[in-house]
């Protein structure tokens, strides 16, 4: 079982040939690997499904974990991929060092290291061996300050030693060192993003008002709560004291990838695990930008489907899709946690979107 360590929550593998012999699927637990072969290159995308796992399918995962290779010509494709259930996605690397100043004074700098921080200014340095340029980056209310994953962040998160990129206009009145009035300032060292995590409580720490949440996507996450955190069970307000080890919960908040902590805005105590809702028809359109929601009819009932910042939106070909392409009447599948006629979606799939070519 050594090769299966870290994937004990895996539920399903589906190996099949697609209409083209150069593509295929591997699906297990909450992870689906969609495989595309282009010449000698193999590309994989992570998707979602959930069904029982047979003994033979377990062996296939074991072979994949050991690095075995199959062929779509025989209906199988094995990928050497292990431990996904307990690992976070790899963060993007910091950008390569770059300085670009156009003739009209537009400035783009990437990969600068912060040397000092004030209320509305940052000093950052770009260096090539002994040669260095120190920049003063001036921000104001119009400056867009971003975290690594793209979400907005406060100026207070920027610290000495952080790697930043910035774009703006060169202040030609500053004579001592280059000063940029920033339009965008991105901090590559802050790995935080808003997520909607789902899992089972492992343990509760009443003294610190925190608990450990065992998730399939991110392993064991420490959830931090404050007096402002909202707690609900079946749409009724409750408190931190109601939490117990073994409870199934979803948590919306700000996840710090580096520390693997989640600052909770809202904790929902659930009665059941996530599942797949099939056969839906889109009744009202979602917004084009996440987070948003839409109404989907499943059977005789209308459900509100909440689409969070980290919800995967896919087409029928399992590739990422744009919410703007959804149309009333489209066939919709949702994987998520239901409560009454509300579904908090982990994955939304539009089965009527045309396949990409």
Confidence of residue 318 (pLDDT cuts 50, 70, 90): confident
The Cα 24–Cα 16 span in angstroms is 6
> Mean pLDDT highest for which of 84-93, 176-185, 224-233?
224-233
In tens, the pLDDT along 209-246 reads 999 999 988 899 999 999 999 999 988 999 999 999 99
In DSSP terms, 303 is beta-bridged to 296
98-187 and 192-270: identical CATH topology: yes
Contact call for residues 313 and 307 (beta carbons, < 8 A): yes
Q: Confirm if 137 and 123 have CB atoms less than 8 A apart.
A: yes
pLDDT(287) > 80: yes
Q: Is the pLDDT of residue 183 over 80?
A: yes
Name the token pair of 305. Answer: 């489907």
pTM for the full predicted model: 0.59
Q: β-strand 261-270 against 230-233: which pairing, if any?
A: parallel
Strand, coil or helix: 220: strand
pLDDT for position 234: 87
43: number of Cβ within 10 Å: 11
Q: Look at residue 151 and give its three-state secondary structure.
A: coil
Express each pLDDT in 14-69 by its tens digit: 333 333 333 444 433 334 444 333 333 433 333 333 334 444 444 344 333 333 33
Among candidate residues 133, 165, 123, 135, the one with its CA nearest the CA of residue 147: 165
Q: Using CA of residue 81, residue 85, residue 86, residue 88, what is the dihedral sign?
A: positive
What are the residue ranges spanned by the domains of the chain? Answer: 2-86, 98-187, 192-270, 275-350
Lowest mean pLDDT among 62-71, 184-193, 290-299: 62-71
pLDDT score, position 357: 61
Judged on CB neighbours under 10 Å (0-12, 13-18, 19+), 296 is buried
Structure tokens at 237: 């307000």
In this predicted structure, what is the pLDDT of residue 237? 95
Between 173 and 1, residue with greater pLDDT: 173
Q: Compute the mean pLDDT over every residue in the chain, rounded to the nearest whole number.
A: 77
What's the CATH number for 192-270? 2.40.50.320
Give the residue, 339 or 58, on which the prediction is more confident: 339
**166 neighbors 185 (Cβ within 8 angstroms):** yes
Condensed to tens digits (0 to 9), the pLDDT of residues 115-153 reads: 999 999 999 999 888 888 899 999 999 999 988 877 788
Which CATH code, of 2.40.50.140, 3.30.450.20, 3.40.630.30, 3.30.930.10, is assigned to 275-350?
Answer: 2.40.50.140
Superfamily of domain 98-187: Nucleic acid-binding proteins (2.40.50.140)
- Strands 106-117 and 121-128: what pairing? antiparallel
**pLDDT mean over 76-105:** 56
Average pLDDT, integer, range 154-177: 88
Rounded average pLDDT over 163-180 = 88
CB atoms within 10 A of CB 301: 9
Q: In the chain, what are the helix, strand and coil shares in percent, each to the nearest 5? A: 10, 50, 40
| 8 Å CB contact between 31 and 46 | yes
Section 244-262 average pLDDT = 92
């Amino acid at each position: 079982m050594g090769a299966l360590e870290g994937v004990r929550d895996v539920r399903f593998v589906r190996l099949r040939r697609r209409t083209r012999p150069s593509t295929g699927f591997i699906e297990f637990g909450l992870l689906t690997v969609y495989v595309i072969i282009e010449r000698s290159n193999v590309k994989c995308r992570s998707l979602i499904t959930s069904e029982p796992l047979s003994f033979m399918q377990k062996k296939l995962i074991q072979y994949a974990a050991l690095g075995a290779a199959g062929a779509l010509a025989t209906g199988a494709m094995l990928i050497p991929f292990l431990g996904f259930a307990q690992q976070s996605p790899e963060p993007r690397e910091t950008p390569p060092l770059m300085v670009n100043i156009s003739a009209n004074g537009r400035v783009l700098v990437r990969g600068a290291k912060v040397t000092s921080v004030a209320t509305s200014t940052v000093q950052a340095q770009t260096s090539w061996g002994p040669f260095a340029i120190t920049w003063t980056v001036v921000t104001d209310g119009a400056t867009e300050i971003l975290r690594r994953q793209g979400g907005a962040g406060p100026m207070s998160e920027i610290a000495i030693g952080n790697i930043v990129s910035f774009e703006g206009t060169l202040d030609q009145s500053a004579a001592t060192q280059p000063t940029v009035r920033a339009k965008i300032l991105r901090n590559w060292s802050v790995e935080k993003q808003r997520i909607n995590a789902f899992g089972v409580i492992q343990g509760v720490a009443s003294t610190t008002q925190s608990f450990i949440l065992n998730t399939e996507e991110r392993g064991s996450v420490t959830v931090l709560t404050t007096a402002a955190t909202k707690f609900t069970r079946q749409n009724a307000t409750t408190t931190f004291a109601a939490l117990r080890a073994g409870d199934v919960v979803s948590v919306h908040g700000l996840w710090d990838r580096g520390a693997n902590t989640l600052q909770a805005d809202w904790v929902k105590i659930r009665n059941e695990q996530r599942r797949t809702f099939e056969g839906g028809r889109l009744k009202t359109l979602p917004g084009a930008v996440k987070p948003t929601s839409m109404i989907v009819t499943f059977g005789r009932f209308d459900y509100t489907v909440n689409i969070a910042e980290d919800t995967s939106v896919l087409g029928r070909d399992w590739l990422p899709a744009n919410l703007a392409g959804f149309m009333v009447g489209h066939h919709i599948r949702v994987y998520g946690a239901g409560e009454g006629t509300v579904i908090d979606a982990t994955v939304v799939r539009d089965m009527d979107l045309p396949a990409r070519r």
